[in-house]
Structure 1
Amino acid sequence: MDDRFGPDAGLHRQMYEEVGPRIAAGPWHWFHWLFARGPSRPFVANLILACVECELKLPGLGWALIRDVASISGREKNEADYESLLQKLSEIFVLRQLLVLPWPEGTTFAHEPAAGPGGKRPELKAETNDALYLFEVKAPSLLSHQRSRSENPVQFPGRMFEGAMRKMMAGDQKPILPRDNPVKDFLMSAEAKFAPFAGEKSVYGILIVVWDDFIYEPITSLVHEASKGLLTAETFARNGDGTPITFPHVDAVFLIRHLMYFQQGAAETLTERRHAFDFGGERDLPNVHVPVPGGKEVPGFIRAGLRALQFDDEQLQNFADYRPQEFIMWFNT
């Protein structure tokens, strides 16, 4: 291990020496090829560095995260394991970024805290003198959906068309259907985890969803009124009595477009970022902030730290990838 990892190279080395042999030569692991080639491979080095930074901010967290990565193994080329790894990488990526935000002096952190015995556990709690900030990090299973995008030229990102109309519009093609149910599940999970913390302090509930480059998909699922978006009055998510399902303890959703960088980084084909755990800078494509109607306004330092513009910001309207979509036809060129 060289000194490019700075004064924490010793901890970096310790993490690699514990998990590296397990991943490289233990039960089959999706990252075994990378770890077998040493700790200086960009993906390996920056994965461990992200865990080191988490460990320095919240002792015990970095070790837990890197051990989780090592434990997702044993089933050769199992896609469910690969998607579990993408979820874990998303947690590491987002937690590291949250922990290094310019929090007020005296802020304390807890990983997977519970409001009471046996309670549901959000990903992270940050507590300041006057507020609690709760974060839940999610990433969808997208492998089969990504294949569908490459194979099928017709996509319906939302629910604005009934089945018969979709069939007529798609013709002989097999259309790509919305991926809004995972977004609904993420919101419901976050609501269930945040609600028990309601108390005397002001509580901010923030859901962070890591998606791939097709960021219009979750935007459409959340805010497109004709598509019965989940944060609109016409939401498709309904209780048994027909009333809308709402999320009173979720104040905002942040959409982070990064899954493809993990996939490309692990394949060593990444060109758009310095490495797979680079959160990006002002010249990079932004992430998206979607306020929940009726929710509290998330402080600016969090929005800025997550590099997020509001979904209806004028700067995003020139990019089709950031606008809600009704119907898409892909043409191979």
Structure 2
Amino acid sequence: MTQDVKGAADLDMLAIVETLAERYRTGVGGRTHWLTYHLKKGHVTEFGEALIEALASCESRLPQLGERLVDDLINTGYTPTAQDPAAWRAGFQQLLQKFAEILVLRVLLEAPWPEGVQFRHEPANPTTGRRPELAVEFEERVYLFEVKCPSLVDHQAARGANARQIPARSALGDALRASPDPNDPVTWPRDNVLKDFLESAEGKFSGFSDKKTIGVLVVIWDAYVYEPISALNYHRSGLLTEHSFHQVNGVRVPFDAVDGVIVMNHLAVLHAGAQEQGHAHRPGYFRLDHVDGGLPNVWCQNLGGKQLDAFVMSALDAIPAEDADPAEYRPHEYIMWINLPD
């Protein structure tokens, strides 16, 4: 690319950035809304700049996608905390879900796909009518992506308060449930949330195309990634194992259309950025680059699932779960939290 062409491209991107920022300001009018502080004209915050650049990147690669995402942000309901704290938390969780979608869409659209692929945002599945987040269609195959971000507010509070945690279903967990100790509560697994996510992705991926289809569920979590990994990969009950706890008439539900799950440890980054509390463990709010020593994302492959292309794994900053060494990535049956004195 010559300097003149590059300069013109930069100017085009700047124009898209300002157009999308103004679309948000016009859409919310004079109301206090989630991003009015971050996108205030003349005083855009670091987080607001990162967000609008991500939206502009989506718009430049798939026209009207950035505009649609801005409209989604405008339509994400805002209730002041003082008026209704529960409604505020619910709205903030919806906002984080939208941030997660923007992050993943931006990363996927910027990935080095081969020439000639076609992108479709939320295409309708001709069989089920359900809509995955993104389809990337080759001549001979198609990638399908679905993005999920759970509400972890209550779970995080329990995790911080309880000395004992059961990340995956097990005989020990069953015993603790059978004889609960009200003076020593337990933080239970969020495996039903993962089950619901897999069911949703299955309905969006199954029967989508006659071509070879690779279905990828992307789940955004906080730094405690052993929780979803345990729910998915724990050998005695994990949803992606032959001994899955989710069965019908004694037979494992296979989620055949879902080839695997990317567990992305980016939720704390988005949460902290939106509340101007720093970058957490990654310097980019809407990128997946991380500082030296940062923890990558992981790929949990389903039984019989297809492998991802190496460039897709790289773009998603993911490694196979079985190749991850730190304890944060290993399935756990039981955890005892010990609060040491200062």
TM-score by length of 2: 0.88
Note closer, same or farther for the CA distance 1:15–1:39 as it changes in structure 2 (3 Å cut).
farther
Kindly report which structure 2 residues correspond to 1:300-315, keeping only aligned pairs within 5 A, or say none.
300-313=310-323
1:152 touches 1:173 (CA, 8 Å); kept in 2?
yes
Kindly report which structure 2 residues correspond to 1:17-96, keeping only aligned pairs within 5 A, or say none.
17-20=22-25, 22-23=27-28, 25-26=30-31, 28-36=32-40, 38=42, 40-77=44-81, 78-96=88-106
Report SS of the residue matched to 1:303: helix
Note closer, same or farther for the CA distance 1:282–1:301 as it changes in structure 2 (3 Å cut).
farther
Task: Give the aligned residue type for 2:337.
Answer: W
Please say if 1:14 is aligned against 2:14: no
Report SS of the residue matched to 1:35: coil
Task: Give the aligned residue type for 2:272.
Answer: Q
What is the CA distance between 1:275 and its match in structure 2? 3.7
Give the Cα–Cα distance (whole angstroms) in 2 for the partners of residues 146 and 207 of structure 1: 23
Please name the residue that 1:250 is paired with. Answer: 258
Note closer, same or farther for the CA distance 1:288–1:169 as it changes in structure 2 (3 Å cut).
farther
Q: Which moved more, 1:34-43 or 1:117-126?
A: 34-43
Q: Which moved more, 1:176-185 or 1:243-252?
A: 243-252
1:158 pairs with 160, 164, 168, which one? 168
Task: Give the aligned residue type for 1:46.
Answer: A
Please name the residue that 2:329 is paired with. Answer: 322
Structure 1, residues 177-235: CA drift from partner, whole Å, max 9, x if none?
00011101111111111112141x21111111111111000000001023x11011111
Please name the residue that 2:224 is paired with. Answer: 214
1:140 touches 1:210 (CA, 8 Å); kept in 2?
yes
2:165 touches 2:186 (CA, 8 Å); kept in 1?
yes
Task: Give the aligned residue type for 2:108.
Answer: L
1:278 pairs with 287, 290, 297, which one? 287
1:264 touches 1:276 (CA, 8 Å); kept in 2?
no
Give the Cα–Cα distance (whole angstroms) in 1 for the partners of residues 149 and 301 of structure 2: 19
Please name the residue that 1:268 is paired with. Answer: 276
Please name the residue that 1:291 is paired with. Answer: 301
Count of residues in correspondence between the two structures: 323
Note closer, same or farther for the CA distance 1:244–1:282 as it changes in structure 2 (3 Å cut).
same
Please say if 1:231 is aligned against 2:240: yes
Note closer, same or farther for the CA distance 1:274–1:24 as it changes in structure 2 (3 Å cut).
farther
Please name the residue that 2:113 is paired with. Answer: 103
2:222 touches 2:265 (CA, 8 Å); kept in 1?
yes
Task: Give the aligned residue type for 2:24.
Answer: V
Task: Give the aligned residue type for 1:229.
Answer: G
What is the CA distance between 1:146 and its match in structure 2? 1.2
Please name the residue that 1:185 is paired with. Answer: 196
Give the Cα–Cα distance (whole angstroms) in 1 for the partners of residues 39 and 21 of structure 2: 9
Note closer, same or farther for the CA distance 1:237–1:176 as it changes in structure 2 (3 Å cut).
same
Task: Give the aligned residue type for 2:245.
Answer: F
Report SS of the residue matched to 2:126: coil
Report SS of the residue matched to 1:209: strand
2:138 pairs with 119, 128, 132, which one? 128
Please say if 1:332 is aligned against 2:339: yes
What is the CA distance between 1:32 and its match in structure 2? 3.5
Report SS of the residue matched to 1:34: coil
Give the Cα–Cα distance (whole angstroms) in 2 for the partners of residues 164 and 74 of structure 1: 42
Give the Cα–Cα distance (whole angstroms) in 2 for the partners of residues 300 and 120 of structure 1: 28
1:205 touches 1:251 (CA, 8 Å); kept in 2?
yes
Aligned alpha-carbon RMSD (Å): 2.2
1:191 touches 1:250 (CA, 8 Å); kept in 2?
yes
Structure 1, residues 38-85: CA drift from partner, whole Å, max 9, x if none?
553111111111010001111111111121112112422311111111
What is the CA distance between 1:297 and its match in structure 2? 1.5
What is the CA distance between 1:17 and its match in structure 2? 1.2
Report SS of the residue matched to 2:158: helix
Note closer, same or farther for the CA distance 1:259–1:298 as it changes in structure 2 (3 Å cut).
same
What is the CA distance between 1:282 and its match in structure 2? 7.2
What is the CA distance between 1:37 and its match in structure 2? 7.2
Give the Cα–Cα distance (whole angstroms) in 2 for the partners of residues 224 and 273 of structure 1: 28
2:166 touches 2:173 (CA, 8 Å); kept in 1?
no
What are the ranges of 5 or more consecutive residues in structure 2 without an aligned counterpart?
1-6, 82-87
Structure 1, residues 129-182: CA drift from partner, whole Å, max 9, x if none?
211111111111111111112222211111112443357696722111000111
TM-score by length of 1: 0.91
Report SS of the residue matched to 2:243: coil
Please say if 1:194 is aligned against 2:205: yes
Note closer, same or farther for the CA distance 1:252–1:117 as it changes in structure 2 (3 Å cut).
closer
